[in-house]
Amino acid sequence: MCKHLSFFLLLFSFISGGTLMKINGQKTWCIAKPSSDQATLLTNINYACSKVDCQIIQKGCPCFNPDNLINHASIAMNLYYQSMGRNVWNCDFKGSGLIVITDPSYGNCLYV
């Protein structure tokens, strides 16, 4: 089931306009600040995943590994950021979000 999720996310991106928010012409993504504590990361995962489908971070899916809160929070926060309009405030997460211009994708885990 997870192998089709990447296609869906890419299709969703195309249907929703096909472009990411740009800063000085750069694509942007939302990740968790490295200084965020574990409780904040867990809160961010729970909030984001209550609003968007976070199946991609489930065991056996492309973004499960590495299996840690900073990784899972970054993916969940980015899914939320992308689906809610790519606005700066969609990456705030009470000051624990960070907008980046370097694609954080790795291996088969694609940030869209």
The pLDDT assigned to 11 comes to: 35
pLDDT tens-digit profile of 12-22? 333 334 444 45
| 70 within 8 A of 36, measured Cβ to Cβ | yes
pLDDT, average across residues 30-50:
98
53 against 7, higher pLDDT = 53
pLDDT tens-digit profile of 43-99? 999 999 999 999 999 999 999 999 999 999 999 999 999 999 999 999 999 999 999
SS3 letters for the chain?
Answer: CHHHHHHHHHHHHHHCCCCCCEECCEECEEEECCCCCHHHHHHHHHHHHHHCCCHHHCCCCCCCCCCCHHHHHHHHHHHHHHHCCCCHHHHCHHHCEEEECCCCCECCECCC
- pTM for the model stands at 0.80
